[in-house]
Amino acid sequence: MTDLNEIETLYKKYLKDLTAVRAEQRAFYRESGYLPSRTPALGDRVGAYLRRAKSWVARGGALLKPQLDDLEAEITYLRIRETRPANVVEISPCGGWSTTWILKALRDNGHGVLHSYDLSDLSTRNVPKDLAEGRWFFHQGDVTRDLAGLPAQIDYLFIDSDHSARFAQWYIDHLFTRLSSRTPVSVHDVFHTADAGGFDGEGAVIVDWLEKKGISYFTASGARDPRSNSSIWSLKENLGVKERIHRSDANSMIFFESR
């Protein structure tokens, strides 16, 4: 079961490694031309613009496009550290921001590989080669047409893809049925608002399915669960890891375990 107490315990347990990864990700974020502040000084904005242009050229027109907020990224890292999956499946990596968090968890575990599926290959031009080597397998194409290409066993499922009701029903029918009991799952862009259906069609479908199955889920969304959101940020401040990496703070992801 994934709940607030478990998440806070993991922050304390893996604090040293998380602190190191946060420093790496902050540098990666900055080098890619992004700033953690919503209202940076003019000089900072100019510097970020120049770094982003340089990154765009160096990476063949690929921008990082960070999606996961700090809490979502850190909780993903911590859950992978704790559960030590052999096979992680990610749908879809986009620019590779979530991919690097996942790969660093696998690296720090010294165990496991990541299979990422996407129509676009942007992530392959952003993820550092030394991080990817031996632990990352990128599959370009429509995952709904390549079920045979998925690992026989999925030990952690991470979904941040087409946010339609149709796609949500597809992965419920075709991916969730492959999972063993208590497999960790993450689904992004569910609680941008307190209403799971307030952002797109996907959220309402997945939350309705979870409730019908009696499967509890956790979210750090300030819109949906301000108490948990505030509690984690207070803990991060006490642990010395409150400084923002990514400026977004929607924290819309849900975390749960399969049955």
- Percent of the chain with pLDDT strictly greater than 90: 80
CA distance 133 to 131: 6
- Percent of the chain with pLDDT strictly greater than 70: 100
Q: How many CB atoms lie within 10 A of CB 226?
A: 12
Q: Per residue in 114-157, pLDDT tens?
A: 999 999 999 999 999 999 999 999 999 999 998 999 999 999 99
Looking from the CA of 210 toward its CB, the CA atoms found within 13 Å total 21
pLDDT score of 55: 83
| Tally of residues, the chain | 259
Nearest to 206, CA basis, from 250, 248, 249, 161? 161
- Provide the whole-model pTM: 0.95
pLDDT score of 248: 87
Contact 112/45 with Cβ under 8 angstroms?
no
**Neighbouring residues of 47: CB distance < 8 A, sequence distance ≥ 6:** none
Contact 175/105 with Cβ under 8 angstroms?
no
* Whether residue 49 has pLDDT greater than 80: no
Q: How many CB atoms lie within 10 A of CB 135?
A: 16
Confidence of residue 15 (pLDDT cuts 50, 70, 90): very high
CA distance 167 to 205: 10
CA distance 139 to 165: 24
* Whether residue 225 has pLDDT greater than 80: yes
In our burial notation (b when 16+ CB lie closer than 10 A, e otherwise), range 191-200 reads bbeeebeebb
Nearest to 122, CA basis, from 74, 56, 69, 52? 56
Q: Per residue in 190-202, pLDDT tens?
A: 999 999 988 889 9
Q: Is the peptide bond before 252 cis (omega within 30 degrees of 0)?
A: no
Domains defined for the chain, CATH in brackets: 4-30+64-257 (3.40.50.150)
* Whether residue 94 has pLDDT greater than 80: yes
pLDDT score of 1: 62
As a whole number, the mean pLDDT across the chain is: 94
pLDDT score of 6: 96
Q: How many CB atoms lie within 10 A of CB 27?
A: 11
Contact 73/99 with Cβ under 8 angstroms?
no
Q: Per residue in 207-224, pLDDT tens?
A: 999 999 999 999 999 999
Please list the residues that pair with 176 across neighbouring strands: none
CA distance 24 to 184: 25
